[in-house]
Each structure stands twice: as C-alpha cells, then as structure tokens.
C-alpha cells in the first residue's frame, strides 16, 4: 500500500501541474473545449485515485473542485479571472494535502481544514451557493444529486461494464468493493451480476487470491474515459471492457467472445440486464457461426471484404458482423501500438547506476593504462574495445537522467501570474528553448536560483504600468526565459525589458556597506556584479518579494555549487540580462589531461579549441597573438604557485567559455581522458579555478579546472594591464 500511495502522490502532483497550466491558458483566452475537459479529467483522476488509496480528505475536497469544473463544462457558469484564481488556490491546497499524505497523515489538521473549508465556500459562491454532494453519499443520494444538477433529466444513458479482476488484486492492496463503491460517484448501478465461475475447488483456493468478475449495467452521464479512470489502479490486474449506450449487437457478441465464461451463460446475463433482447441474441449467435468463416479467411484466405460482401448478399451475415471480423486484426494491432512504452524508475536507482558507471570508467582507464605498459598488442586492442563499450554505456546511462528544462520553466507561468496581480503590474512571460535537455540533478537544483531571478526581475526590474507608458514602452512588461546548449554547457538567460540596474545607486550602497573603497575604479560589469554580495539591496522598502538583502547571494552560491557561473548585463531603461552557465551533467565528462610539474589537471574536452606551443616572445606578457586575435592567458604554474623551474617548452591550451577565448599555459599535454567528477570538500570551496577532482587510472588524484573562472581571471588581468598602460601614457 505504501508503494501505491507513493505512485498516487507523484501522479497527483503531475495532474495538478497540468490543471494549473490549463487554467492559465483558459484565463488568457483559450476557448478550446478540450482544455477544460483535460482540467476536469485531471481533477477526476485525483479524486478517483484518492478514493482507492483511502485519502478521504483529498477525495472530498476534490469533489467540490470537480463540481465547479463540471458546471464550467456544461456552460452553467463562465470563466473569469476570479474563478481561475480560486481554483488555482484549490490546487495549492491539494498540494498541501498531498504533503500531509506524504508524511503518513490521513486527516488534515484544524488549520488546513479551515483553509479547505474557506476555499470550498468560495467555490460554492461561484456555483450559486449550491453545495456539492459528499463523495461518501449513498447511491440514491448521488443519483438524486446528479439528476437535480442535470435540470431534472433522468440518467437513461446505460453503459455496460464487464470486469474480471486478476488474481493479485487483493495482494496489491486493492479492494474490488471500494472500486465499485467509487463507481457510484459517477452514476448508479442499474443491474449487476457477480461471476464466480473462476473459483477453484476449495482445497485449491488461495485465500489471498481474487476470483471475482462482474457484469454491470451502469446509468451515468460520464464519458468512457471517466469510467475507465475508476479502474486506473487495477488496469494492469484486470480485464476490463466498457460498451457505450446503444452499442451494436456485434459489439456485445464480440464481448462475449473475449470473455472466459460460457457463451450462453453470458448471453443470458446480457438479456437479463436489458443490454440485448432474446431475439437479438439468438439472431446474433446464428450469424456469428457463419461469421467464423470470415474470421478464418481474414487471417490467410481470400480478401475478407470480398468474401464478406458475398455472405451479406446471400443474407448469411449481417453487415456489422462482417465489419467486426474484417477490422478484428486491425483493432488488435492498434491496441498493441497504444500500450504504454514508458516506465517509472526511482531517481535513487538511476543515481546508483551512474555511480557504478563512474567506477566502471575508472576501472576501464586503469585496465587500459596497464595494457599499454605491458606492450601486448592483443591486450591493448581488447582494452580499446572495452573502452569504447564503457563509453557507450556511459553515454546511455547519462541520457537516462537527461530531462527537458521546459518542466521547470513552465512552473513560472503561475509565479508570474500571481506576482503580477500582487504588484499590480501587467507582465508577459516568454519561454524559449524549453526542449533543451540537461541532467535531472541540475534541473532540480536550478529551480530556486531561477525563482529568485524571476521575482527580482518582476519586482525590481519592471516599472509600474504608468511609468512604462510615460517612457514610451509597451504597457505590459516582458520577462524572458531562454535555454540553449553552448560549448558543452547549458546557458539559461533571464531577461527583462525594465529599468535596468541603477549603477550609481549600486555604487553608493556598496560604499555605505564597505564593499568597495572611495577611490576604487570599477567597470560597469563589476558594479553590476555587486548585487550578488550578501546582504546587498537597493530596495527602498521591504516587500513580500524583496528588499531584505537576501536572495541574489544565494543565487550565486547555489549556481557555483553546480560548478556554474552567473553574470549580469544591464542598460538603463532597456532592461537586464542574467546569464547562467551550467555543466550538462554533474557526474561524468570527457576531459583533456594536462600536467604542470608533477601535478595533473583535467580540462573539460568540449571547451578545448586547440593546442599550441607558447612562443618565447610571450614570456613577459599575459597575452599572445592568435592569428591576429589577442588571446589572454593564465599560467597554471603561477596560479597554483609551483616554484620549480619552468620547462624549456611550454604549451597553451586554447579554451572557449562564455563566448570568449583564453589560453591556459601548462607544461605538458597528456591527451583525452574520460573523467568521473568527484566533488571537493567544503574546506576547498573558496579555491578559484577548481571545479572538482577525479581519480586517474593510475590511482592518482587530478584536479578538474573551472574553465569559466580561469577565463574571467585571464580577461580581468588583461583589462587591468590595459588600464595601467593607459594611466602611464
């Protein structure tokens, strides 16, 4: 039951996300009936699932929401921003109830119940004060309620449900009686026959096995999908057939053919339930005997349509029997094609797989090194093949954890909507690059930093409507979220078209807080980056969103913890652009090994552009001429204070990071290497230029270089040198 509950909670959260997205589309003018139907189905699925796992607090509250959505579907009430806001708040409340269920709480506390009651009353206000019937109402009460809500209509739509529960239903924690009881919330059972034909002899009967089946005539206004969802939690453990009202005789005969019980017994049940008359059954069975010839010919004889036409002309078959036989194979093929091709795998299992693949990479590198030292050609070739296979396994394993960032981006539709209403601003959110993929572990950890950036863009960046109009800007402010791949990294941009950063104000605040000195000269970029300092804020007053000086320093710290960087560019009255650069994965990368004295370092291979020898003419400066282009570089020997003598020949590894090229000067180049990233301890968190560590095939430790930090360091040194030269001249 614990596993079933976990699956329900996960799927319910996904349904709530879909509900929120649909509701906001409706609020923005989406009039597609399928959008509303999808929202209703999501609520109904949550309600049905909560009934199965016996979460009454969710089932009862969702019933109220479902009632409001049903009124919307029937055009009895109209869509409004106020109604959407209330239903969105109901989604938040359902998420809170799911949190309680996740903590093994079956009933809500008094405060949560009060919030739910207030929301339910708000909803009922939109429904004209009507109170929805309880999910625990009796069948008669439910039928009366549905009849009254339908304006006095009687439920004359009679469905036929045939269900045979599997042997393991009870073992899996499912109760057939509870499922049928929930079915009553959609309508009433006009006739039911319990089938126990599958019962074995008493001495062979297993007390935990289920042998029951039911033939049900069911009156309801619900559609087939809604009725099917009642059986969602046992779909893999039962045989279910649902025939709509007024189905053809051929459909009932086909049902009989697919069921395990004896034909005449099932026919009698269908006649007794009113699904068929005795005359229809007799005629249908007689025609079916002749139709068996058609079914046989479909699988290998003459063309079925031709043979069927002959039999119809000779009045041996009814046309619908021929139609059913001809399409039989097609239906089977379509059923197989529609089978689910996705499986859910717990994230911990994937993490464990990645860890094992990482160890496999290290072991493979060690075996390859030993093979090369041995000088045995056959062994070297064998380990080479092994290395290629390990690389393929690595790529496939990492691909399992790659997810689209769109799911994270879409969460901000709701955030922007609610924040805009709170601030009294008109704000448009534009999302691009939602299909960009990156590691699931990165996606999970980037959500909070993005939340801070988006909120700050709306609060600090975008001006009030009146100010925007006075500046000649569009009335609605614009916030953009964009993601794309670049040089083996993922780049995420948060852009707004607001007032931009007040750089003079930032400088003044920084002086007040002692972050800079009075005579310190800062570039525009350095001034803008001051907003990432702890406790820094230029807000005039504290609001629910910002002004307390917390948030932007957390953004930088969290992004750096992901081995990423964040930069800000701003232009007054035009807006700001925050650029986040992150690695695609936190687990394994292709690296390029370099050495300085006895130390070995790893540069991410996707950032390496080319390698060259350092010319003696570059000894006295920190840049070189790369085919007419100025290339600043940083010496690892100086950066890590290696005090031994320089080698006669030094090499430059040209790398590209953040759109700029820089050089990294090293002693030796050692070639490509698959690198398993090992995080450094907290004590090394202050080190610049180091992103992590790895274990080489020889068992030695190598440090992984933070190329972006080194690029910034090299570029900064070049700017300071030019500034000094300008001051001298």
Write the DSSP string, 236-304.
GGEEEEEE-TT--HHHHHHHHHHSSS-HHHHHHHHHHHTSS-HHHHHHHHHHHHHHHHHHHHHTTSS-H
Contact in structure between 481 and 431 (CB atoms under 8 Å): yes
Which pLDDT score, from 0 to 100, does residue 269 have?
Answer: 82
CATH number, domain with residue 274: 3.30.70.120
Residues 418 and 464 in one domain: yes
- CA dist., res. 374 & res. 356, Å (int): 27
The pLDDT value given to residue 357: 85
Tokens of 648: 């006669």
3-state DSSP: the chain helix, strand, coil percent, rounded to 5? 50, 20, 30
Lowest mean pLDDT among 188-197, 234-243, 266-275, 674-683: 674-683
Q: Is position 143 within any domain?
A: no
Domain around 416: 403-583
> Is the Cβ–Cβ distance between 51 and 178 less than 8 Å?
yes
The answer to whether residue 592 is domain-embedded is yes
Kindly report which listed range (248-257, 508-517, 614-623) carries the lowest average pLDDT score.
614-623
Residues 190, 313, single domain; the answer is yes
Domain boundary among 308, 336, 364: 336
Q: How many domains does the chain have?
A: 5
Does residue 153 lie in a domain region? no
Please tell me whether residues 301 and 374 are part of one structural domain: no
Bridge partners of 239?
Answer: 164
Q: Are residues 369 and 413 in the same domain?
A: no
The answer to whether 126 touches 86, Cβ cutoff 8 Å, is yes
Average pLDDT, the chain: 78
> Do 375 and 329 share a structural domain?
no
What share of the chain has pLDDT > 70, as a percent?
Answer: 81
User: How far is residue 199 CA from its own chain's centroid?
Assistant: 44
Q: How confident is the model at residue 492 (pLDDT cuts 50, 70, 90)?
A: very high
Q: 665: closest CA among 652, 649, 646? A: 652
The pLDDT of 183-209, averaged and rounded, is 85
pTM over 0.85: no
Going by their DSSP bridges, the two strands 477-486 and 427-432 should be labelled as: parallel
pLDDT tens for residues 90-142? 999 999 999 998 888 888 888 888 898 899 888 888 876 544 443 333 333 33
Same domain, 375 and 482: no
**Inside any domain, residue 151:** no
| CATH code: domain of residue 45 | 1.20.120.160
Residue 150 domain-assigned (yes or no): no
In this structure, the answer to whether residues 446 and 571 fall within a common structural domain is: yes
Copy the structure tokens of residue 207: 């007390």
Tens digit of each residue's pLDDT (9 = 90 or more) over 520-540: 777 777 788 888 877 666 555
158-162, 256-260, 300-304, 514-518: least confidently modelled range: 300-304
Q: Does some domain include residue 255?
A: yes
Mean pLDDT across 188-198: 83
* Residue 19 domain-assigned (yes or no): yes
Contact between 701 and 674 under an 8 Å Cβ cutoff? The reply is no
182 and 317 belong to one structural domain: yes
The 8-class DSSP code of residue 457 comes to I
429: which strand partners? Answer: 479
Residue 64 contacts residue 97 (beta carbons within 8 Å) = no
Looking at 401, 418, 445, the residue that finishes a domain is 401
653 and 676, same domain (yes or no): yes
What is the C-alpha to C-alpha distance for residues 120 and 125, in angstroms, rounded to an integer?
A: 9
Pair type for strands 701-705 and 690-695: antiparallel
Reading across the β-sheet that carries 599-604, which strands appear in turn? 668-676, 588-596, 599-604, 701-705, 690-695
Same domain? For 468 and 322 the reply is no
Q: How far is CA 156 from the centre of its chain?
A: 42
pLDDT number for residue 404: 87
Task: Say if 601 falls within a structural domain.
Answer: yes
Does the pLDDT of residue 364 top 60, yes or no?
A: yes
Where residue 494 sits, what CATH number does that domain have?
Answer: 3.30.565.10
C-alpha distances in angstroms, 363 versus 387, 585, 592, 602? 10, 21, 18, 18
Confidence tier at 721 by pLDDT (50, 70, 90): low
My answer on whether 286 and 381 are in the same domain is: no
Q: Which of 555, 583, 611 is the last residue of a domain?
A: 583
Give the gyration radius of the chain's Cα atoms.
34
370 and 503 inside one domain: no
Task: Dump strand ranges (E) for 307-405.
Answer: 402-404
């Amino acid at each position: 039951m614990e596993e079933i509950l976990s699956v329900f909670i996960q799927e319910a959260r996904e349904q709530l996300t879909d509900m929120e997205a649909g509701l906001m589309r409706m609020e923005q003018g989406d009039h597609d009936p399928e959008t509303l139907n999808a929202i209703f189905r999501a609520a109904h699925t949550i309600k049905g699932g909560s009934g199965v796992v016996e979460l009454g607090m969710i089932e009862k509250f969702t019933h109220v929401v479902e009632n409001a959505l049903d009124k919307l579907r029937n055009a009895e009430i109209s869509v409004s921003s106020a109604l959407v806001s209330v239903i969105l708040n109901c989604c938040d409340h359902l998420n809170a109830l799911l949190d309680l269920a996740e903590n093994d709480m079956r009933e809500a506390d008094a405060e949560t119940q009060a919030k739910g009651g207030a929301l339910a009353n708000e909803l009922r206000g939109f429904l004209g004060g009507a109170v929805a019937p309880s999910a625990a109402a009796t069948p008669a009460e439910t039928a009366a309620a549905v009849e009254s809500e339908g304006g006095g209509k009687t439920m004359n739509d009679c469905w036929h449900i045939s269900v045979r529960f599997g042997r393991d239903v009870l073992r899996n924690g499912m109760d057939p009686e509870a499922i049928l009881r929930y079915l009553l919330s959609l309508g009433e059972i006009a006739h039911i026959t319990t089938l126990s034909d599958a019962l074995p002899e008493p001495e062979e009967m297993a007390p935990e096995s289920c042998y029951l089946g039911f033939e049900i005539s069911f009156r309801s206004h619900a559609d087939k999908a809604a009725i099917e969802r009642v059986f969602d939690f046992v779909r893999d453990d039962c045989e279910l057939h649902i025939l709509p009202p007024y189905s053809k005789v051929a459909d009932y005969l086909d049902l009989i053919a697919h069921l395990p019980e004896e034909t005449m017994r099932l026919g009698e049940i269908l006649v007794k339930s009113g699904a068929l008359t005795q005359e229809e059954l007799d005629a249908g069975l007689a025609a079916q005997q002749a139709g068996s010839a058609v079914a046989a010919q479909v699988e290998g004889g003459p063309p079925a349509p031709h043979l069927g036409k002959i039999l119809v002309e000779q009045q041996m078959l009814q046309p619908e029997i021929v139609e059913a036989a001809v399409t039989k194979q097609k239906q089977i093929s379509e059923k197989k094609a529609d089978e689910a091709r996705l499986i859910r795998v717990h994230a911990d299992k994937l993490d464990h797989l990645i860890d094992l693949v990482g160890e496999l990479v290290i072991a493979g590198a060690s075996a390859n090194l030993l093979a090369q030292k041995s000088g045995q050609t056959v062994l070297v070739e064998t380990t080479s093949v092994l290395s290629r296979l390990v690389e393929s396994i690595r790529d496939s394993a990492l691909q399992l954890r790659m997810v689209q960032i769109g799911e994270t981006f879409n969460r901000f539709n709701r955030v922007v909507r609610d924040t805009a209403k709170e601030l009294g601003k008109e704000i448009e959110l534009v999302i691009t690059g939602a299909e960009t993929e990156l590691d699931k572990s990165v996606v999970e950890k980037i959500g909070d930093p993005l939340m801070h950036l988006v909120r700050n863009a709306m609060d600090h960046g975008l001006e009030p409507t009146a100010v925007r109009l006075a500046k000649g800007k569009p009335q609605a402010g614009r916030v953009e979220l964009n993601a794309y791949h670049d040089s083996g990294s993922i780049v995420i941009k948060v852009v707004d078209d607001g007032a931009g950063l007040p750089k003079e104000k930032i400088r003044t605040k920084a002086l007040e807080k002692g972050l800079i000195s009075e005579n310190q000269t800062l570039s525009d970029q350095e001034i803008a980056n001051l907003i990432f300092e702890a406790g820094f804020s230029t807000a005039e007053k504290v609001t629910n969103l910002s002004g307390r000086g917390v948030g932007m320093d957390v953004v930088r710290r969290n992004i750096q913890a992901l081995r990423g960087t964040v930069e800000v560019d701003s232009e007054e009255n035009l807006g700001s652009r925050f650029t986040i650069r992150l690695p695609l994965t936190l687990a394994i990368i292709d690296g390029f090994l370099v050495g300085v004295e006895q130390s070995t370092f790893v540069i991410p291979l996707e950032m390496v552009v080319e390698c060259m020898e350092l010319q003696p003419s570059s000894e006295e400066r920190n840049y070189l001429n790369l085919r007419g282009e100025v290339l600043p570089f940083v010496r690892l020997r100086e950066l890590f204070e290696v005090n031994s003598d320089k080698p006669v020949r030094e090499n430059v590894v040209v790398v590209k990071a953040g759109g700029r090229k820089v050089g990294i000067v090293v002693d030796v180049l050692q070639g490509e290497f698959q690198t398993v990233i090992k995080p450094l301890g907290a004590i090394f968190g202050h080190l610049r230029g180091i992103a992590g560590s790895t274990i080489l095939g020889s068992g030695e430790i190598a440090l992984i270089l933070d190329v972006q930090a080194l690029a910034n360091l090299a570029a900064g040194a070049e700017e300071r040198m030019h500034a000094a030269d300008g001051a001298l001249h």
